[in-house]
Amino acid sequence: MSHSVGTSTRSLHADDLLNVVSDVAPPLHLSTTFRYSNDPEALVPAADVSSSDADHTSHIYSRLSAPNPTRFETILTALLNGNTISYSSGLSALHAALTLLNPRRISVGEGYHGCHGVIALFTRLTGLQKLDLDCAPDQLQEGDVILLETPVNPKGTAFDIAAYAEKAHSRGAYLIVDSTFGPPGLQDPFLFGADLVMHSGSKYFGGHSDVLCGVLATQRADWHAQLLKDRIFLGAVMGNMESWLGVRSLRTLEVRVQRQSENTTRLVSWLHAALHAPSPAPDSAEAAVQAVLAEVFHASVQETQGDWLSKQMPNGFGPVFSITMRDERLARQLPSKLHYFQHATSLGGVETLIEWRTMSDTTVDRRLLRISVGLENWEDLKADLVRAFRELGKLWREIR
C-alpha cells in the first residue's frame, strides 16, 4: 500500500487483503493450531517453504503465526513504514532486538528503567558494556548499538534522531529508536536514519489500557526474516486476544493521538506560561501554579538549537509530559487532589493518568509526576489542576 495514503486510511484498510470472511469487524481467533489442507498435493513440507511463499491467510501453529497477530502486524507495517514483528511486551521486543544484533557495547540514556533491566540481563549473559548516550563516537565500534528513546520517559522531551544516526553510522554501529512516546502520525524515525524502530505497543497502539504488547519494525528484509525465526524460539508472541484488541485500537490511532497531543500541548503551554508569569495576582490561577510547581518538562517547551525538532515531529510533540513539585510532600499529595487524573502507571490510554513516578521507578526525582493526557476536554483537565494546586497551596502554607 502506498505511503501517500493517509494514516487513518491505512489503519482501516491495510489488512483488507486478509479478509477471508464476510465480517466487517475482524473475528477473534482463539485456536493455537490449524488444520493442514485435505489435498495431499497442496502439502508443502516445512523445509521446502521459503519466505516468499508465505500465505498470510494460512497458519499452522500460533507460535509461528495466527490470524489476529498477522492482521495487527500488517496494519503496523503500513503505519511504521517498515516490516513489523509483534511481541508479548515492549521489553520482549528490546530483548529480540539485542538478540538479533548482539552488540558488544550499547550507548543509552536514562530513559525507561525497564530497558536497563534487559540490558543488565545481556550484560550478565554476554558481557554487554553499557555506555552513556553522549559517549564519544570513538567509544563505539562496528556492530555496537545506540538505543535512543525519544521523546524520552518520563519527561517527554526529545532528542535529535538524525544526529544520533550519523554518530552510530560513522562507527559502523546501529541506531535503535524507541518511539513509544512518538507514535505514527507524530514521528517516523526511519526518515531520520533509524535502523530499528521499537514501540511498547501497550501504550498508543493498544490505546485503552487493556493490551500488553511490543513491536519492532525494520526496513531490512534479512533482519525481518531473522527476527521472525528468532521469535519462534524466544516464544514471546503476542496473544490472540491482545492482537484482536490491538487491531480494534489501531483503527482509531490517528484521531486518538492527535487529540491527546493537542490536549497536552495546550495544558503544557498554559502550565509553562503560568509558572513564568511575572507578579501574578494573589488569587489567580498563575499564583496557584507558582505556589507549588517547580518545573514543566515536554518537547513543546524544551530549548533546542536549530529546527530539527519541528522537522522530526511536525504534527505535535507527544501526549506525555512531566512536572516537578516544590517538595516531595506536594508530589505525594497531588494525585489524591485530582478528579479527572487517575493515579496509575503506564500511559497511552484514552483516560488521563498521573503517576507519582517514584512509585514504579527508583531512579527519578521524588518530586516528579508523569502525566499521560487522554481524550477529556483539556479545559476540564486545566480546571482540575488549578483546583488541586490551590488546595495544595493551602496545605503547603500549613506544613511550612
pLDDT for 118-143, tens place per residue?
A: 999 999 999 999 999 999 999 999 99
The domain in which residue 132 lies consists of 7-252
Query: Does 365 reside within a domain?
Result: yes
Based on the domain organization, do 130 and 275 belong to the same domain? Answer: no
DSSP state letters, 235-285: --PPPHHHHHHHHHHHTTHHHHHHHHHHHHHHHHHHHHHHHT-SS--TTSH
Among the listed residues 319, 311, 318, 325, the one whose alpha carbon sits nearest the alpha carbon of residue 351: 319
Based on the domain organization, do 170 and 260 belong to the same domain? Answer: no
User: pTM of the predicted model, to two decimals?
Assistant: 0.95
Based on the domain organization, do 92 and 163 belong to the same domain? Answer: yes
Q: What is the pLDDT of residues 32-57, one digit of tens each?
A: 999 999 999 989 898 887 765 678 88
Based on the domain organization, do 94 and 192 belong to the same domain? Answer: yes
Based on the domain organization, do 185 and 266 belong to the same domain? Answer: no
Based on the domain organization, do 172 and 212 belong to the same domain? Answer: yes
Lowest mean pLDDT among 22-26, 295-299, 334-338, 377-381: 22-26
Q: How many domains does the chain have?
A: 2
Based on the domain organization, do 60 and 107 belong to the same domain? Answer: yes
Q: What is the pLDDT of residues 272-325, one digit of tens each?
A: 999 999 999 999 999 999 999 999 999 999 999 999 999 999 999 999 999 999
Based on the domain organization, do 191 and 300 belong to the same domain? Answer: no
Query: Does 123 reside within a domain?
Result: yes
pLDDT of residue 48: 86
Q: Cell for 108?
A: 543509552
Based on the domain organization, do 263 and 241 belong to the same domain? Answer: no
Q: Is 341 left (phi over 0), alpha (psi -120 to 50) or beta?
A: beta
Read off the amino acid at residue 213.
Answer: C
Based on the domain organization, do 195 and 132 belong to the same domain? Answer: yes
Q: CATH number of the domain that 248 lies in?
A: 3.40.640.10
Read off the amino acid at residue 173.
Answer: A
